[in-house]
A and B are shown apart, each in its own frame.
Chain A
Amino acid sequence: MAAKDILGRAGEERAARYLTAHGYTVIDRNWRCAQGEIDIVATRGDLLSIVEVKTRRSSAFGHPFEAIDQRKRRRLWQLAHAWCDAHRDQVGGRTVRLEAIGIIGSNPASAEVEHLEDIA
């Protein structure tokens, strides 16, 4: 496993804990299909959140959120619909929305977490 992947895994771990602490229920992680991968799928009340986690050691090469551009958002929506299609029983009439979590720090377990709800 490359160093960047280890960092990514650690970041996702941290994000999952963060979401759980904020009242989310994580129902799926690293779900893959032909179009790509969803980092975290979580629910809270009548919301179904598709969460993209971005982890960076530092912001020297830009803020993690800057990597989520229009193209990435469009792909996330495709993935969101693909997931809903594959898990019809778990959607249960919930509203789907995209969320982003950015983590900056070489040790994701203790780094600061930024959370954007509903990135449209």
Chain B
Amino acid sequence: MSTARTWAVALTGVDGHLVEVEADLSNQTPEFRIIGLPDKSLGEAVQRVHNACKNTGLDLPRRRLTVNLSPASLPKQGSGFDLSIAVSTLAAGGSISPRSIARTVHIGELGLDGRVRPVPGVLPAVFAAARAGFERVVVPKANEEEARLVPGVEVMAAGSLAQVAVWHGADVEVPEVESVGATAVEQVDEQILDLVDVIGQDEAVEALIAAASGGHHLLLSGPPGAGKTMLARRLPGILPRLSEDEALEVASIRSLSGGAPVRLDTGPPLEAPHHSASVAALVGGGSRTARPGAIARAHRGVLFLDEAAEFSRVALDALRQPLESGAIEVNRAGFTARFPARFQLVLAMNPCPCGNHGVRGAECMCPPMAIRRYATRLSGPLRDRVDIDLQVARVAARAATAGGAARTSTADAATRVLAARGRAAERWRGTPWRRNAEIPGTWMRQGALRLSAADRAPLDRALERGLLTLRGYDRVLRLAWTMADLAERERPGLDEVGRALHLRRGWTP
């Protein structure tokens, strides 16, 4: 047998492409060449594979070996191809069975001693293999748990090249090797943040529950110390747990960022980048491999921008495209990586640079121009995509010290959110939408879902007086539906519309 083939996976973003690794052995003077657009680290696989095979006791044939990575036009990078290159060359040389490797995907980096080392992005790679219909995947031992998260595919965890070779019918001794450990994952037990800790902000808590129920983006503005950050950090707790598919998407992105997820976390992620974050940090980047940024890491969870007005304008406006399309594209000379980015945005900001503007009893020192400039740091288009614009006031002394008042706990809030989401999903059955925030405006203004003239009177008045744009009008309608879901009503009435209007029209008119 002079040619043999097996499979590996190349990743662009979280999309895995199956790559056929073919090895050809021709009767020429010894040479080992890899073609098919390998990058530097992949080109060096020649040395790693050569030494790993030799130290495993499986000599590579002393002829010309050509390894082709097909599709040849797709640029490939990283050391994850080592294992597939090694087994295909060994099969071409006749040491192992070509039939056995032909329907197996091999992922892993080789050490010079033949040990199989972990690589990043195993989860999306195994996912791609399973989707392409492969039944067997060989992964590094250190990435085993991560790979086993993918259902419907047989995962074989390899500690050394010898072990893999024996699986494929080679006659070598499997040495007792100390397997290479995974990069330490910071297994931080998430601190349970309960809504009970929030004191005297009933209105804000209600707004938070509404945001969670309808998937509405949220802007919290208020003076320092009002509890904006406290509120925002408690949002992931009241969001519904992720479904298995969603959790896999989240874990895939995490796997790409280098951490090896060992179990499927169904808690929605919270990303809170610092306000000095650059565009690349938010969007993701890299010249050869695209790494996910904060926006992609917040997929299916919450992206919390504290001190939103301190972010650079460019960074903030980078949010506009993913807010609209639910995905973010990183374009580079050689490739375009697409990351999913369906997140809930929470912005928190002060009313002015000193933070005291509009606070009773406090004195704002800022000149009017500074206040205006501060408020306009969030561009109109971005503000327009935020459904709930909530003003958070400082808590009065009486509320802060009062004990025994019935406060909403995270568990109660989560139950209400789940029920409201259930009602919404029931209503939008048969449409592509699940949450109220996704419904197009025309759908709500016309047809069966149109509210009666009496119920929408305050809205129409606001529109006529120019206080609302038509887009703003639609947003209030969406919020009103969420309010109705929370109140367990069939459709929004005057009360729900009024409350929605209040949440929408924050303090900047």
Contact = CB atoms under 8 A, between A and B. Distances in A.
Majority SS of interface residues in chain B? loop
Interface in A54-94: 63, 65-66, 68-69, 73
Contact of A73 (B29, B30, B62, B63): B29
A73 B31 CA distance: 13
Contacts of B62: 63, 65-66
Contacts of B28: 116, 119-120
A47 to B, nearest CB: 16
Interface string B27-38: 111100000000
A28 interface: no
Interface string B17-58: 000000000011110000000000000000000000000000
B27 A69 contact: no
B30 A66 contact: yes
B29 A117 contact: no
A119 B27 CA distance: 8
B27 A117 contact: yes
A100 interface: yes
Contacts of B30: 63, 65-66
Nearest to B61: A63
Contacts of A120: 28
B32 to A, nearest CB: 11
Nearest to A54: B29
Contacts of A117: 27
A20 B62 CA distance: 25
Chain B: interface size category = under 10
A68 B29 contact: yes
A40 B62 CA distance: 22
Contacts of A116: 27-29, 63
B46 to A, nearest CB: 14
A100 B30 CA distance: 11
Nearest to B28: A119
A69 B31 CA distance: 9
Contacts of B29: 65-66, 68-69, 73, 100, 116, 119
Contacts of A63: 30, 62
A100 B27 CA distance: 10
Contacts of A68: 29
Nearest to A100: B29
A100 B63 CA distance: 12
Nearest to B27: A116
Interface in B241-273: none
Contacts of A65: 29-30, 62-63
A66 B64 CA distance: 10
Nearest to A66: B30
Nearest to A64: B62
A63 B31 CA distance: 12
A89 B29 CA distance: 31
A63 B28 CA distance: 13
A65 B30 CA distance: 6
A69 B29 CA distance: 7
B33 to A, nearest CB: 12
Contacts of B63: 65, 116
A17 to B, nearest CB: 21
Nearest to B62: A63
A117 B28 CA distance: 8
A106 to B, nearest CB: 19
B469 to A, nearest CB: 71
A118 B26 CA distance: 11
A38 B29 CA distance: 18
Interface string A86-120: 00000000000000100000000000000011111
A63 B61 CA distance: 10
A118 B28 CA distance: 7
A80 B63 CA distance: 23
Given A65-B62, A66-B29, A119-B28, 17 more contacts: A63-B30, A63-B62, A65-B29, A65-B30, A65-B63, A66-B30, A66-B62, A68-B29, A69-B29, A116-B27, A116-B28, A116-B29, A116-B63, A117-B27, A118-B27, A119-B29, A120-B28
Q: Please name the 5 residue pairs, one residue from A and one from B, whose CB atoms are nearest each other, closest first.
A: A63-B62, A68-B29, A66-B30, A65-B29, A65-B30
12 contacts: A65-B29, A65-B62, A66-B29, A68-B29, A69-B29, A116-B27, A116-B29, A116-B63, A117-B27, A119-B28, A119-B29, A120-B28
Interface of A: 63, 65-66, 68-69, 73, 100, 116-120
